[in-house]
Every structure is written in C-alpha cells, then in structure tokens.
Structure 1
Amino acid sequence: MTPARRIRDEIAGRIRSGAWRPGHRIPTEQELAAQYGCARATVSKALGELAASGLIERRRKAGSFVAHPPVHSAVMTVPDLAELIAARGEDYRWQALSVEPASQGDGAIPGPALCVAGLHLAANEPFALERRLISLAEVPDAGDVDFGREAPGTWLLAHIPWTEVRHVIRAVSPTRREAALLGAGGAMACLELDRTTWRSGRVVTHVRQLFRGDRFDLVAEFKAGVPGEG
C-alpha cells in the first residue's frame, strides 16, 4: 500500500466510524507528513482524493475539515429543517436575524404579513438562510409567537395544516452578504427554494430558503406507471 493510500484510508476510516464528526479539523499537511514520515506532496495527494470523494472540505488558508454530508429532502413535501438536521445526528439551532411587519410593497402575501428572516444552523455552522412571510389574516396567532426563539417553519408545521404547496427550485449565485452568512465562497452556487403554501385556496406563508450547494439535496422518486393507467 502506498503512503498516500494509507493516509487516505485511515482518515476515511475515522470519518466513517464517526470518530471524526462533520466540521472536525483534519491535522495540517505538515503534521500528517511528520506523523506518517512522508513528503507533504504525498499528504496533499491523499487529501485531494478525500476531497474529491466528498469526505472532507479543503478551505483556503483555513485547512481541511470533515465535510457535512448533504441533507436529502423529498421535493414533494414541506420539510422541517430541524427534523432533517437532527435525523443526521447534528445539533440544530435557529438564529433569528429580524422579525418585523412586512412592507406594503411585498406582494407575495395579500394583506398584513409578518416578515421573519434568520439562519438555520447544523452543528453550529450555517446550513440555510431563510426569509419568510406569514399571512396575519390567515394565521393571526403568528403575531404572538417569539420567532426569535423558534423557527417559523417548525411552528407553522405544528400548528397550521396546509392543503396546497408550490416549489420553485433554482441554482443561484448568492449576494456578498448571503455568501458571508452561509460561509460560502464567492464562486459557490447555492440552491434556492422558493415555496408558497396555501390552506383552502388562501396563502398561509411564502418562504425563500437559500442553501449551500454542497449541503442540501432535493430528491423526487417516481415509479413507472402500469400499462393502462393514466
């Protein structure tokens, strides 16, 4: 076994066993070269292969870290990000950025609305940026909820049933502020999820969520129809 392969396999083993969790800092190239008695170029080759396989992230001037595996969400559902992140074994936290009445020029919600902006965090790292409008005509109790402490999506799913939903999904380039909040590099594409939810034909909420492209997958599964079925 070559030194590069040994380094690669041993680091991969620590990650897959859970000994090194997502976000764990990998020893530096210099430290690994000293540990394995090899050249830094050999270490760099091993880390490059780990990065290509998605097990680690190499950040310029910051080092290498165990990667966060993408969260998978069914595109035909309305997911609770707190549940998805917890199911992956990571701590979830909601960080509110602002909670205020929506401006009258925002036409996504007819009538009075509450605008809530915040950041979803997984393992204390940015996972998704959210801006949500909640109809106060349809959900008047939302005006009394402390969304500084509880994510609005989690509260809505627990209290307000929905009957219709529309997703619009696209790849976008984040603004400089969005990239900074998400910890994304300027050249990284992000996944934008634009969703409107109705109850009996009346809008309940409209949300725009922005995910780092390497942290979230939307998945749809279909079965071929049986001949004769429409």
Structure 2
Amino acid sequence: MANPAAESAKTRSDEPLHQRIRSDIEQRILSGEWNPGYRIPFEHELMVEYDCARMTVSKALSALTEAGLLERRRRVGSFVRQPAAQSAVVAIPDIKSEIEARGQAYRYELLSMRRRRASKQDRERIAVPTGATVLAALCRHFADGRPAALEDRLIVLAQVPEAAHIDFRTEPPGGWLLRHIPWHVAEHQISALNATEKIAAQLNIDTGSACLVVDRQTWRLGAAVTAVRIWFPGDLQRLVARFTPSSTTPDAPGRR
C-alpha cells in the first residue's frame, strides 16, 4: 500500500523530493507543531514515511541544519533549535490586524493580480533568475473607509506554488503569507516619499503628499520568497522604538 505522506510529497509540486521533505519539516517547526528541543523522526523513519533513499533525507536535514532550524547529534538524532527568525516574525506586521487593533473597521480590495514571467523591473526588486514566474498583486487596505495602505507585491511561485490557487480577492496576500509560508531572513527599507499622481489617486490623497514607504523582501533557505512595497499616507503613520542607554538595538520597535 502506498504511503500517504510520500504520495502527498511526490504530487504536491514539481520540486525535488528532498526540497519537499525539507518544506514539510520546516513548516512543522516554524508553525510551532515541533517545538525547540523536539527530536524529529530518525532518518530511517523519514525514509519509510517518504519512501525514499537515505541520501534524499540527509540532504533535506542538512539544509535545515544550515538554516539553523535543526541541531544534528551523532547517534542521538536531530533536534529542533530555536529558529533564528522566529522572534523577527513580529516585525512583519499584518495590516489587517494592525488596523483592527486600533479599533478601526478594516476593508480590503484587490486591484489587480497577474501571473507572469519576471520582468527586468521585477528582477531588480527581487533576486530571481531570468524566466522565473511571479505572481504580481496590487491591493488596497482601508481603515474606517479611508485608504490606509497600497500594497504592491511579488510572490515567487517556485517557492510558493500554492499561492497560484489562493483567492486573493477575499484574503490579503501579506496576511496569507504570514500564516502559511515560513521564512528565515527579512530585510526592510523605510523611506519618506512624495505620492505620485497614480499613488495619490489610489490612496485618495493629494499628489505630492508625504508617504511612508516600506520595501520588504523575505528569503527561505537562501531563496527569495516575496518582495513588497507598501505606501502609507504619512499622516496615518508614526515610527516608534523604545530602548535603553545600554541597549544596542531597539527593545520594542513598531509602526503606528
């Protein structure tokens, strides 16, 4: 009788099996199903579960060890380490949650979505090879009926193939990615820019109005997952960081 886990892994996408095993384990770790200190199944158990060779399992575990998610102990097994990026998850806000936390009514609108080959401009935003396929989404977030954010996002479908089947007309892509797709490294760039005529029209503000602009990229095991540029009307935003004289990094960064 075929093993269900192996069949699922083999049919889920066109990824090599070792990458799909890695993704399964990675998801269990970063979702909290397997907590720090948990001993994951032995290699021979994973070989049976996925109906594959030891080399395939070992390659997946090695990648997770290099990413800092596993600690492999000879003759003892592989154990979950505290993910280095786990504490950074809170630094990537969910716009819907932020708006509702302020007691405001949230509404979302998908303006456009297109699956396409990455253009030269796309590749300048996110490190993907020529010919890579991306999902490009433009959406708008409202707070109490007023446009509060304009989100311009690229999702790399080689890393997130399931995104091609999500109905982003009803679910914001940023929130969906936070809940379902693990990542290891994120980079933020924050700018103060004046709204162009097109941006101003989308945000219902005057052309040239000051905006807070956040450019963010995330990576998973060294591969780009998503890049997003979010425009916020300047009068709705404040950057706040609390720290002490002895601290070298902000204690509680946030955007308000």
Encode CA deviations 1:35-57: one digit per residue, 9 max, x unaligned. xxxxxxxxxxxxxxxxxxxxxxx
Encode CA deviations 1:163-212: one digit per residue, 9 max, x unaligned. 11100111111111110111111231111100001112111110000000
2:185 is aligned, of 157, 164, 188, to: 164
Please name the residue that 1:184 is paired with.
Answer: 205
Residues 158, 75 of structure 1: alpha-carbon distance in 2 compared, 3 angstrom cutoff: closer
3-state SS in 2 of match to 1:171: strand
Structure 1 unaligned regions, length at least 5: 1-73
Contact 2:136 2:155 in 1 (8 A): yes
1:128 is aligned, of 149, 164, 171, to: 149
- Name the % identity: 44
| Residues in 2 aligned to 1:208 and 1:144: alpha-carbon distance in whole angstroms | 23
Residues 100, 125 of structure 1: alpha-carbon distance in 2 compared, 3 angstrom cutoff: same
Structure 2 unaligned regions, length at least 5: 1-87, 249-256
Please name the residue that 2:44 is paired with.
Answer: none
How far 1:124 sits from its partner (Å)? 1.4
Q: What TM-score results when the alignment is normalised by the length of structure 1?
A: 0.63
Determine which structure has greater relative contact order: mean sequence separation of CA pairs < 8 Å that are 6+ residues apart, divided by chain length: 1
3-state SS in 2 of match to 1:214: helix
1:90 is aligned, of 104, 116, 121, to: 104
How far 1:162 sits from its partner (Å)? 1.7
Task: Give the ranges of 4+ consecutive aligned residues of structure 1 lying more than 4 Å apart after TM superposition.
Answer: none
Please name the residue that 2:94 is paired with.
Answer: 80
Contact 2:196 2:208 in 1 (8 A): no
Structure that is richer in helix per residue: 2
Please name the residue that 2:36 is paired with.
Answer: none
Contact 1:128 1:211 in 2 (8 A): yes
| Residues in 1 aligned to 2:245 and 2:182: alpha-carbon distance in whole angstroms | 30
| Residues in 2 aligned to 1:225 and 1:200: alpha-carbon distance in whole angstroms | 33
Larger Rg computed on CA atoms: 1
Please name the residue that 2:240 is paired with.
Answer: 219
Encode CA deviations 1:98-140: one digit per residue, 9 max, x unaligned. 0101453120251211001010111111000110001101110
Q: What TM-score results when the alignment is normalised by the length of structure 2?
A: 0.57
| Residues in 2 aligned to 1:159 and 1:207: alpha-carbon distance in whole angstroms | 17
Contact 1:75 1:218 in 2 (8 A): no
Residues 199, 104 of structure 1: alpha-carbon distance in 2 compared, 3 angstrom cutoff: closer
Contact 1:92 1:123 in 2 (8 A): yes
1:198 is aligned, of 212, 219, 223, to: 219
Residues 139, 117 of structure 1: alpha-carbon distance in 2 compared, 3 angstrom cutoff: same
| Residues in 2 aligned to 1:226 and 1:203: alpha-carbon distance in whole angstroms | 31
Please name the residue that 1:46 is paired with.
Answer: none
Please name the residue that 1:101 is paired with.
Answer: 115
| Residues in 1 aligned to 2:215 and 2:134: alpha-carbon distance in whole angstroms | 17
CA root-mean-square deviation: 2.1
